[in-house]
Chain A
Amino acid sequence: MRLLAALSGGVDSAVAAALAVEAGHDVTGVHLALSQAPATLRTGSRGCCSKEDAHDARRVADVLEMPFYVWDLADRFRADVIDDFVAEYAAGRTPNPCLRCNEKIKFAAVLDRALALGFDAVVTGHHARLSDGVLRRSVDLAKDQSYVLAVLTPEQLAGTVLPLGGLTKDEVRAHAAARGLAVADKPDSSDVCFIADGDTAGFLRERLGAQPGPVVDALTGAVVGRHDGAYAYTVGQRRGLALSVPAADGRPRYVLSVEPVSRTVTVGPGSALDVTTVRADRPLWLDERPLPLACSVQLRAHGAVHECVVEADGDGWRLELATPARGVAPGQAAVLYDSDRVLASATLA
């Protein structure tokens, strides 16, 4: 096959590309420039794309003796991932940008262009198993990324090759070292690639401005603090609440809900976060099963797995969980599994 390997500059995509080459495919490397580039003439390092990652990706392509290109997807990334991320937070939800990037960039813009240019599929370094349209968890459960791939359509998956699903992260690093790839020891990337310092609240404040509002205790209805923007709060959050009135029972309080219109952040005891019924919209089936369906569900990246029964509820689902889930944040995905096999995904309401 003619494959386009998306090389991030990290170890996973490097080994994925190497394995594709060794499997006899004709592989071309491409690095996606996603961060904002300077608008005018090059001015050295200032504000330019992730130069180091692009350099590492190019080194990998050179070692693997494959052609290499950089595709500028910064505009698409800003519109489809960053702007969406900010808008979702502003609407009181908790988006997963990696999931959105897979859905809109890697397996949409990039895959479309690859197919149009005559490639048969895109190969990436995601940790998940994919064969004959069946998506399964990686053998390395700690690194499993099937959750952020569950939003892909069967057509998108048909144009995708995932060589790493049968390997643990340690094995991936060993493969890289054995092939002389300099990225073998490169640390794993951080959570949100476009927030380099990890300060999500600061990132949002810069874009949304201060939007002060009350923090309300769910039990007493009393205002127990003020905040500069409800968007900085996520359901289940405990740290950084800065409450002026201590809880009556002296126990820690958590964010229970975020209401963007009235800018109200409601807090309460952890036990109030426990839910056994959740709703999800816009279901997307990879492996459609009749409802009601007994299966397992994951409600956030690297989150716990709950046994559940899925029932139709309008266009969406109602999920009855066998064990309570704590801190279910609207905007995250509910992904259904049959053992390690991905069945479907939907967005938590």
Chain B
Amino acid sequence: MLPEAVDTVTAALRDALSAAGNASSLHSAGRRARRVVEESREQLAAALGARPSEVVFTGSGTESDNLAVKGIWWARRAADPRRRRILASAVEHHAVLDAVEWLVAHEGAVVQWLEVDGEGRVHPAVLEAALARDPSDVALVTVMWANNEVGTLQPVRALADLAHEHDVPFHTDAVQAVGQVPVDVAASGVDALTLAGHKLGGPLGVGALVLGRDVACVPLLHGGGQERDVRSGTLDAPAVAGLATAAALAVVRQEELHARLSGLRDDLVRRVREAVPEAVLNGPADGRDRLPGNAHFSFPGCEGDSLLLLLDARGVEVSTGSACSAGVARPSHVLLAMGAAEDDARSSLRFSLGHTSTAADVDALLEVLPAAVERARRAAVR
């Protein structure tokens, strides 16, 4: 969490708690909390090139994705029962993937997964063909801004334009993108955009959906009618303030962070390839086409979770693909969609650099990586 966001959250929390302890000030406390939320809404909107009225605060990026996918689908189907088809990229985060699959399993939705190329990118021609099949039955298109595993940036503007040619709403999960690459809602043309607090240096347990005023969306949560009736429930005002502070700073610092992380990442990629020549870089070959702090490799002959354990033990935190709810490592659906063999998918690791990462971190990784790869390979052949 950014120190500035920590300060914002603690100050707002202290203020809220001291006011809540004083019954006579309950009304003023409510006013203050409301003011914190509305100022945060304005601050976040300004940071993202959106209007304040478009910002819907939620409890997480997952909730925002669910609200967008299910809410927009329900609204579209209610307006026109033929609109049941969802066009979604095959490399979406589980918050989108599983929401789509739930609609298919329980609500009669039909999904068409948009294929990606070997670098994880949805080509506009793929979306164009999927829309052209029958534009009248499409409920929505959802394609993430940047992939969370291999970091691939999607051609969001071109994809959104294609959807709009057929009056189809376009949602994007930008959880990974905000603060890393320029994200401007108005300029991108998207109808709905998901972001999460902790991914941009803000607190956990808060997110937002930027939802165009004219985009119909059925709520997931019913109740007090907060957040323009799309998301009922009392907001965690300190967390909302922390999210807005973090987003505003992340956007201001984005360019500088991008330059610094790209440099570190390019250095990391070059040195990993030197140290482990058989390592295969997954995702875009050109660093400009992926998130600046992202590098993703397969280490043939190694189990990703062996490497994870060995690097962990040496103080280097990396991650493998997704795990099932019991924690069993699964070959990443992202890599499989990109055409990787299951063994290669199982042998892969993601290296993420963030605002606290330094050249010393890259040095530390390279110090332990070759021996870890060697050892993991021996552990795998048994």
Interface residues of A (CB under 8 A from B): 28, 31, 33, 37-38, 41-45, 48-51, 53-55, 58, 67, 69-72, 74, 109, 112-113, 116-118
Contacts and interface: CB of A to CB of B under 8 A. Distances in A.
B327 A54 contact: yes
A44 B323 CA distance: 11
Contact of B326 (A28, A33, A109, A112): A33
A118 B310 contact: yes
B119 interface: no
B19 interface: no
Residues of B contacting A: mostly = helix
Contacts of A109: 382
Contact of B379 (A53, A69, A113): A113
A167 to B, nearest CB: 29
A288 B146 CA distance: 64
A8 to B, nearest CB: 13
Contacts of B328: 33, 37, 48-49, 54, 70, 72, 74
B375 interface: yes
Nearest to A43: B101
A117 B379 contact: yes
Given A28-B309, A42-B98, A51 B325 contact: yes
Interface string B314-341: 0000000011111111100100000000
B326 A113 contact: no
B333 A41 contact: yes
A170 to B, nearest CB: 30
Given A116-B378, A117-B375, A117-B379, A49 B326 contact: yes
A27 to B, nearest CB: 12
Contacts of B308: 69
19 contacts: A33-B326, A37-B326, A41-B97, A41-B101, A42-B324, A44-B98, A44-B325, A50-B326, A54-B328, A55-B326, A58-B327, A67-B313, A69-B308, A74-B328, A112-B382, A117-B306, A117-B310, A117-B376, A118-B313
Contacts of A112: 382
B312 interface: yes
Contacts of A45: 325
B344 interface: no
Nearest to B308: A69
A41 B100 CA distance: 12
Contacts of B310: 117-118
Contacts of A44: 98, 325
B173 interface: no
Contact of A42 (B305, B309, B330): B330
Interface in B86-105: 94, 97-98, 101
Interface in B48-94: 94
B326 A54 contact: yes
A48 B101 contact: no
Interface residues of B, number: 26
Contacts of A118: 310, 313, 375
Nearest to B371: A118
Given A38-B324, A58-B327, A67-B312, 8 more contacts: A33-B327, A41-B101, A42-B98, A49-B324, A69-B309, A69-B327, A70-B328, A117-B379
Contact of A116 (B305, B326, B333, B379): B379
A329 B316 CA distance: 52
Contacts of B326: 31, 33, 37, 48-51, 53-55, 70
Give the most central of A48, A55, A69: most B CB within 10 Å.
A69
Given A41-B333, A71-B305, A72-B329, A28 B313 contact: yes
Contacts of B324: 37-38, 42, 48-49
Contacts of A67: 309, 312-313
A72 B320 CA distance: 14
Contact of B329 (A28, A50, A70, A113): A70
User: Which 10 pairs from chain A and chain B are nearest by CB?
Assistant: A116-B379, A70-B327, A49-B326, A54-B326, A33-B328, A72-B328, A112-B382, A51-B326, A42-B324, A117-B379
A48 B323 CA distance: 11
Contacts of B323: 70
A324 B306 CA distance: 51
B101 A69 contact: no
Nearest to A45: B325
A113 B181 CA distance: 41
Nearest to A108: B382
A55 to B, nearest CB: 8
Contact of A31 (B97, B305, B327, B378): B327
Contacts of B375: 116-118
Nearest to A111: B382
A48 B325 contact: yes
B67 to A, nearest CB: 19
B329 A42 contact: no
B364 to A, nearest CB: 17
B164 to A, nearest CB: 30
Contacts of B306: 113, 117
B106 to A, nearest CB: 12
Interface in B360-382: 375-376, 378-379, 382
